[in-house]
Amino acid sequence: MFLEPHFKGQRSGWIEVICGSMFSGKTEELIRRLKRAKIANQKVEIFKPKVDTRYDEAKVVSHDANYILSTPVEDPRKILELSEGVDVVGIDEAQFFGENLTTVCQQLALRGTRVIVAGLDMDFKGNPFGPIPQLLAVAEYITKVHAICQHCGNLAVFSYRKSSEEDTVVLGEKDSYEPRCRTCYSMGNILDFGK
């Protein structure tokens, strides 16, 4: 797909993706980058999916209770109209948006906007999640963050769901999910019986 720059001759922006498992610090890193942009007097807008109401309806909140105000949106195309003239756009929980998020991010970058996207790269089954794989393919910068496996202490890259629900999207916290390394993830609920 060919995307035309918003203004001819304008320097383009770029896309940064922060990905990893649950409890790996994705949102914390997103908030850190956005706060630094604000310190640099850049105009910043933050968005999150309307469906994510775990901590707050209008704030992007990390598991450590660090937060930044945001605008909840249902459709990523709304981000385009709400970020006209913005220097930096932050998007949290990007895996909950549809595939058109990639096109939106590319259009923002062509406008000259720095786009910082955070999200899970895999669902609880270990499959690529939502638009994240496409965003990884077109991003200029990628940061993969890691949690610590709750069972062995190794680096965790998987989000293990402790409940038996099969829907891909099930909002939850530490009561529903835990980070696991590849080995402990593959052992599944065998590890739960030892608790």
**Which is more confident, 175 or 18?**
18
Q: Tell me whether residue 178 is one of the annotated catalytic residues.
A: no
The DSSP code for 10 is P
Q: Tens of pLDDT along 159-189?
A: 999 877 777 666 656 678 999 999 999 998 6
Domains and CATH numbers, the chain: 14-146 (3.40.50.300)
Q: Which residue in 29, 45, 93, 178 is the catalytic one?
A: 93
Give the chain's end-to-end CA distance (angstroms, integer): 51
- The predicted-structure confidence for 117-148, as pLDDT tens digits, reads as follows 999 999 999 999 999 999 999 999 999 999 99
Residue 22: closest CA among 141, 137, 174, 163? 174
Mean pLDDT (the chain, rounded): 86
Query: What's the whole-number mean pLDDT along residues 54-69?
Result: 60
- From the number of C-beta atoms within 10 Å of its C-beta (0-12, 13-18, 19+), residue 176 rates as middle
Q: What are phi and psi of 192, to 5 degrees?
A: -65, -30
